[in-house]
């Protein structure tokens, strides 16, 4: 490889991390699919049912 493991140019590392943050924050901002709202509703309902049996 072209660089030592730890001593890559800090400016390049910063540039890469900056772009990683852009990619990641785009993903975080995507709207959650409905399936997760449905899933959570089911899990809550199951809990309520269990609680009702006690």
Partner 1 sequence: MSDRDPREAMLDHLPALRAFALSLTRNGATADDMVQDTVVKAWTNIEKFQPGTNMRAWLFTILRNTYYSSRRKLNREVSDPEGTMTNSLSVKPDHDGHLNLSDFKKAFETLPDEQREALILVGASGHTYEEAADICGVAIGTIKSRANRGRARLAELMSLDGNSPLEMTDNATMAVVAGGGGVLR
- Residue whose token pair is 């030592």: 4
Shortest CB 53 distance to partner 1, Å: 16
End-to-end CA separation in angstroms for the chain: 63
C-alpha 13 chain-centroid distance: 22
d(CA 48, CA 40): 12
Cβ closest to partner 1, residue 21 vs residue 52:
21
- According to CB under 8 A, which residues from 3 to 42 bind partner 1? 3, 5-6, 8-25, 27-30, 32-33, 35-36, 39-40
- Interaction site with partner 1 (CB under 8 A): 1-3, 5-6, 8-25, 27-30, 32-33, 35-36, 39-40, 43
């Amino acid at each position: 490889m072209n660089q030592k493991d730890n001593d890559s140019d800090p400016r390049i590392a910063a540039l890469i991390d900056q772009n990683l943050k852009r990619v990641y924050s785009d993903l975080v901002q995507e709207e959650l699919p409905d399936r997760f709202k449905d899933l959570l509703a089911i899990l809550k309902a199951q809990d309520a049912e269990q609680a009702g049996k006690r």
